[in-house]
Amino acid sequence: MPKVKEEYEVVMEVKKPDMYRVILHNDDYTSMDFVVDILMKIFHKTLQEAEVIMINIHKKGKDICGVYTYEIAYTKSQQVKRLAKQNGFPLLATIEKDN
């Protein structure tokens, strides 16, 4: 049986994943210190970055904590909710698709 050599051209396209914003929302019960702590622990912000975001949340009602792939954004929002609940705070974290 003769050997047949075949060549194929394969075109692969790598698509960047959709990105999602994690947003913390202001409420009348969660302490500012707790929000700063969350921003430093979960979102790896410096103290100065965390304080700026916390003030923005307080003044504007919400602010973006980071932009991640869906899985990471979802996980971080769930971590915020779990820690807030464990500490008796109603802190709300949501995610929305980044433009």
What is the tens place of the pLDDT at every residue in 63-83?
A: 999 999 999 999 999 999 999
Confirm whether 80 is domain-assigned. Answer: yes
CATH of the domain at 93: 3.30.1390.10
In a domain, 75, yes or no: yes
Would you say residue 36 lies in a domain? Answer: yes
> 53 Cβ partners below 8 Å, 6+ apart?
24, 35, 39, 45, 63, 64, 65
Domain contains 49: yes
Phi first, then psi: what are they for 97, rounded to 5°?
-65, 135
How much is the average pLDDT of 82-91?
A: 98
Please tell me the pTM assigned to this model.
0.84
In a domain, 4, yes or no: no
Number of structural domains the chain divides into: 1
For residue 89, what are the domain limits? Answer: 19-97
